[in-house]
């Protein structure tokens, strides 16, 4: 590492960033898998979590890389879409986070980007802006309509901030951004916002585990290694009626599209043998209508986490509310996006 770069980021600064990143990363209600990112600015250097790394590993792994701050800011200001090509100021194989752009343009030392389950659940309801405004009364916050993660989102925030810049951003169908000039202040503000937006989930009926085990055996009889999700709440995706209805709609937020695809395979328990092994293995999981979720051996840990996250979000959406899903175009922007394919590949290597 260049000595000037090394000196720009003291051990004290690094320990603060590691600590707050770890504290965020271990909270599954805030961060799922390799989602979310944190950053710190000092001088003309932006230190940011690398793409595909996990905040929960901030204390033991080298997950932060330094970038030329002004280079990133200039690209967003000039409308140059090269977010995926920012070169680290050290020799590393790691890439800058997809969300590097908005971390750079937000005029605070610390920027925290998370995917709180309650915030996402609130942000997709059609009257979200008004209801969130009431809940966050007294906090200066900004609503950002959905944009593809990366350059488009950063550019949208930049254009908004030409008028004013707040420390809290609610991202429609996506998550939360918190900014502050101290790490502890960022954590405090994040906790307040998330607590104000808490939603009590619906009660979830317990799945029939014996039936699900029998169905796993049926899959194994046709050569598919099948097993149950680690958390029984995942089965609510089809046991809970409102959640089941949502399965027929487009996904609600980007990471679900990236790790789980556009649509699940939904099968009636009496029709399992009507599909071939090859047809099943186009997917990494299967919804057994009204009974539960079956995972296939090719499922990634990130997909498992996203299914659990989807179930927790669905249980928080009132059945009488109209919602905004991602459009077909918004989903197509994410599917096979090289930047996300890189992140998927990194998580497969674990």
* DSSP per position, 67-91: EEHHHHHHHHHTT---GGGPPPSS-
Look at strands 64-68 and 45-49 and give their pairing.
antiparallel
Q: Would you say residue 247 has pLDDT above 60?
A: yes
In the block, residue with structure tokens 């100021």: 89
Q: Would you say residue 138 has pLDDT above 90?
A: yes
pLDDT at 1: 46
pLDDT at 10: 65
Report pLDDT digits (tens) over 92-115: 989 999 999 999 999 999 999 999
pLDDT at 165: 83
**Nearest one of 82, 100, 239, 111 to 179, comparing CA atoms:** 111
Q: If you average pLDDT over residues 316-339, what whole number do you get?
A: 89
Confidence of residue 4 (pLDDT cuts 50, 70, 90): low
pLDDT at 67: 95
pLDDT at 164: 75
Pure H helices in the chain: 3-8, 11-25, 69-77, 100-105, 117-123, 128-135, 151-161, 183-196, 209-221, 236-239, 241-246, 254-260, 277-280, 301-314, 328-334, 338-348
Q: Would you say residue 192 has pLDDT above 80?
A: yes
Confidence of residue 223 (pLDDT cuts 50, 70, 90): very high
Q: Would you say residue 265 has pLDDT above 80?
A: yes
What does DSSP assign to residue 282? T
Question: Alpha-carbon distance 199 to 230, whole Å?
Answer: 23
Q: At what angle do helices 69-77 and 151-161 cross, to 10 degrees?
A: 80
Residue 323 has φ and ψ, to the nearest 5°, of: -130, 165
Confidence of residue 319 (pLDDT cuts 50, 70, 90): confident
Q: Would you say residue 342 has pLDDT above 90?
A: no
Q: If you average pLDDT over residues 240-269, what whole number do you get?
A: 94
**Residue 102: which residues within 8 A CB-CB, separation 6 or more?**
76, 111, 113, 153, 154, 157, 158, 177
Give the CA distances from residue 2 to residues 6, 47, 53, 322, in Å, rounded to whole numbers and listed in that order: 6, 14, 23, 53
Task: Tell me the longest C-alpha to C-alpha distance in the chain.
Answer: 66
pLDDT at 349: 45
Higher pLDDT, 141 or 15: 141
Question: Alpha-carbon distance 309 to 297, whole Å?
Answer: 20
Lowest mean pLDDT of 84-88, 126-130, 157-161, 313-317, name the range: 84-88
Report pLDDT digits (tens) over 274-307: 999 999 999 999 999 999 999 999 899 999 999 9
**pTM of the predicted structure, to 2 decimals:** 0.92
Question: Alpha-carbon distance 262 to 256, whole Å?
Answer: 8
Q: In the chain, pLDDT over 90 holds for what percent of residues?
A: 83
Determine contact, residues 101/154, Cβ cutoff 8 Å.
yes
Confidence of residue 182 (pLDDT cuts 50, 70, 90): very high
Domains of the chain and CATH, by start:
3-196 (3.40.225.10), 209-348 (no CATH)
pLDDT at 343: 52
Determine contact, residues 144/171, Cβ cutoff 8 Å.
yes
């Amino acid at each position: 590492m260049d000595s000037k770069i090394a000196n720009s980021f003291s051990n004290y600064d690094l320990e603060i960033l590691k600590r707050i990143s770890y504290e965020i990363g271990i909270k599954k209600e805030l961060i799922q898998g390799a989602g979310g990112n944190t950053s710190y600015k000092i001088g003309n250097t932006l230190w940011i979590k690398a793409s595909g790394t996990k905040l929960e590993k901030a204390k033991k792994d080298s997950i932060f890389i330094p970038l030329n701050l002004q280079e990133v800011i200039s690209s967003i200001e000039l409308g140059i879409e090269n977010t995926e090509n920012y070169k680290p100021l050290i020799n590393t194989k790691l890439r800058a986070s997809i969300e590097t752009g908005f971390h750079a343009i937000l005029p605070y030392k610390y920027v925290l980007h998370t995917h709180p389950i309650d915030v996402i659940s609130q942000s997709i309801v059609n009257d979200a802006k008004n209801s969130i405004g009431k809940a966050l009364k007294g906090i200066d916050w900004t609503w950002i309509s959905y944009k593809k993660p990366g350059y488009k989102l950063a550019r949208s925030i930049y254009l908004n901030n030409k008028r004013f810049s707040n420390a809290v951003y609610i991202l429609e169908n996506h998550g939360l951004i918190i900014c502050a000039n101290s790490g502890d202040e960022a954590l405090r503000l994040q906790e307040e916002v998330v607590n104000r937006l808490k939603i009590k989930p619906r009660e979830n009926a317990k799945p029939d585990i014996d039936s699900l085990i029998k169905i796993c055996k049926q899959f194994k009889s046709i050569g598919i290694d099948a097993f149950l999700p680690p958390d029984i709440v995942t089965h609510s995706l089809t046991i809970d009626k409102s959640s089941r209805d949502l399965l027929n709609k487009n996904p609600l937020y980007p990471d679900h599209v990236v790790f789980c695809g556009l649509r699940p395979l939904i099968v009636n328990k009496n029709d399992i043998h009507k599909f071939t092994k090859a047809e099943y293995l186009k997917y990494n999981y299967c919804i057994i209508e009204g009974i539960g979720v079956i995972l296939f051996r090719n499922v990634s840990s990130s997909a498992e986490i996203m299914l659990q996250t989807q179930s927790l979000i669905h249980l928080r959406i009132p059945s009488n509310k109209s919602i905004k899903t991602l459009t077909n175009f918004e989903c197509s922007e994410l599917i096979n996006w090289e930047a996300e394919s890189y992140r998927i590949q990194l998580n497969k290597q674990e």
